[in-house]
Amino acid sequence: MLTALSLALIALSALQLERGPYHDLPDDFERRLTPEVLVARAARPAVVHITTDVTQRIGYDLLGRPIDAPGTSSGSGVVIYEDGFVVTNYHVVRGANSIRVRFDDSVDRTEYNAILVSSVEQEDLALLKIEASGPFPTVPMGISSDLMVGERVIAIGNPMGQTFTVSVGIVSGLHRNVAAEHLRFTDLIQTDASINPGNSGGPLLNINGRLIGINTVMNASAQNIGFAIPVDRVKRVLEDHLLSPSMARAWFGYDIDEKKLVVTEVVPGTPAFDAGLKAGDVIVAIDERPVAEPTEYSLARIPLVPGRPVSFRVRRGAEELVQLELVGWERHEALLYQRLGLTAELVQLLGARNQTVLRVKTLRPDGPADALGIEVGDYLDAVRPAQRYTIDPRDLRSLVIVISRMQPGTPLTIDVWRDSNGNQRRDARGDITEYLQGTLKLD
């Protein structure tokens, strides 16, 4: 005769056969769905693995010349706007020749190209834009000003190439100051959630699944000590720098009241001027994307790249809508035009192997270069700030950096080669010389 206990065991065995021997009962399974599990599930679609192609210095040859080789680096990031804007650490994408992002395979198996939109090295923050149309999943922003020591947090990233790794811990400390990689970080969140190489740039989340920090540095000499940039600071850097139109790669030659989206000035000779943009125009759409408030304008404006035609729709007067097409300049062109009053391009002399020169391409009417007498087609030979040292203008990056740091009115001595006879040779015989020199004052 079967006892009650025997019948119960048979019923349980039948249930296990139906569900499988290792399945929990419904109540047991529900208990496993902890807040940490729910946060990881919700955040998974918005966390990306970032891979960059970089040039690495691997040594020197017998003559002391550097030897470089291609390499890769990786890190993490998190999507914060559905257009595909990703926040990460600057050091994750520093020196990148190309950037690729990939979501967890369970979400999206596509590998996307991305561009570095803007960065602030001192804050170790960078903003990327996935080169694809969205919408993409995002992680909601939280606040970090009310964090409590001891509260539960979740770190997500891709340490050591292990995609979508979740670690759980607590807020171990607040307002920490840490020195790392020649930078000093202040007011960081300290956590004992595991943060390893590859976690950099990934999200630190509270138990409600809101972004409270960007994982950034770890203490290599200690265990269970990691740090994150507080999300309140991330928001400030986004607003003041990363999403500021002044950080955009493409420059169009207009100034705007970013609150009212009203054009306040159009610089003569620039893409905006040539396209017919006028002071007083109100920008209402960029590339057919409506912009009605500052954040919408920033998200549409900042990823625009130089050299690509962009449609701007503006409201002129009370009723008229005007469609314009603008092709932006590179940022270095803009700075030279604004400060020196010229744009220039690197060209190679005919019949001269590997000999490049910087040729003046355009002049701003009544700008410093125009007032000095520089002409389109002149070659810039040397630039000397206040006669202290000489800059080779062919090194455009150094020239732009130096000029950008100078105050308006700073004198700048410029050596010019004017190829008067068009033979592309530097002639200086007797009373005939193609070398000119003058001093201008920066705008």
| HSE, side-chain direction, 13 A CA sphere, residue 207 | 11
Domains 247-327 and 332-441 agree in fold: yes
pLDDT at 357: 85
Is residue 170 scored above 50 in pLDDT?
yes
Percentage of the chain modeled with pLDDT above 90: 51
pLDDT at 319: 78
Q: What is the pTM of this model?
A: 0.79
Give the number of other CB atoms < 10 A from CB of residue 323. 10
Instruction: Name the active-site residue from 91, 281, 298, 332.
Output: 91
Report which of 81, 35, 48, 43 is spatially closest to residue 234, judged by C-alpha positions: 81
CATH of the domain spanning 247-327: 2.30.42.10
The amino acid that residue 285 corresponds to is A
**Alpha carbon distance, N-terminus to C-terminus of the chain:** 104
Is it true that the peptide bond before 203 is cis, omega within 30 degrees of 0? no
91 is catalytic: yes
What is the fold of 332-441? Pdz3 Domain (2.30.42)
d(CA 364, CA 268): 7
Per-residue pLDDT tens for 248-280? 889 999 999 989 999 999 998 899 999 999 999
Report which of 191, 192, 198, 194 is spatially closest to residue 213, judged by C-alpha positions: 191
Is residue 10 scored above 80 in pLDDT?
no
d(CA 241, CA 236): 8
Average of per-residue pLDDT across 328-353: 84
Is it true that the peptide bond before 245 is cis, omega within 30 degrees of 0? no
Is residue 6 scored above 50 in pLDDT?
no
Per-residue pLDDT tens for 43-93? 999 999 999 998 888 888 777 778 888 888 889 999 999 999 999 999 999
Average of per-residue pLDDT across 175-188: 81
Give the number of other CB atoms < 10 A from CB of residue 146. 10
Q: pLDDT-derived band of residue 429, with 50, 70 and 90 as boundaries?
A: low
Q: pLDDT-derived band of residue 1, with 50, 70 and 90 as boundaries?
A: very low
In order of 122, 337, 442, the CA distances from 385 in angstroms are: 27, 17, 10
Instruction: Name the active-site residue from 49, 200, 332, 378.
Output: 200
Is residue 421 scored above 70 in pLDDT?
yes
d(CA 9, CA 4): 9
Please indicate whether residue 262 or residue 332 has the higher confidence score (pLDDT).
Answer: 262
Average of per-residue pLDDT across 297-326: 92
pLDDT, mean over the chain = 86
Average of per-residue pLDDT across 401-410: 87
Average of per-residue pLDDT across 124-152: 94
pLDDT at 2: 43
Is residue 123 scored above 70 in pLDDT?
yes
Is residue 205 scored above 90 in pLDDT?
yes
pLDDT at 15: 44
pLDDT at 12: 45
Domain ranges of the chain: 152-240, 247-327, 332-441
Given the candidates 2.40.10.10, 3.40.50.300, 1.10.10.60, 3.40.190.10, the CATH classification of the domain at 152-240 is: 2.40.10.10
pLDDT at 246: 82
Instruction: Name the active-site residue from 124, 192, 281, 378.
Output: 124
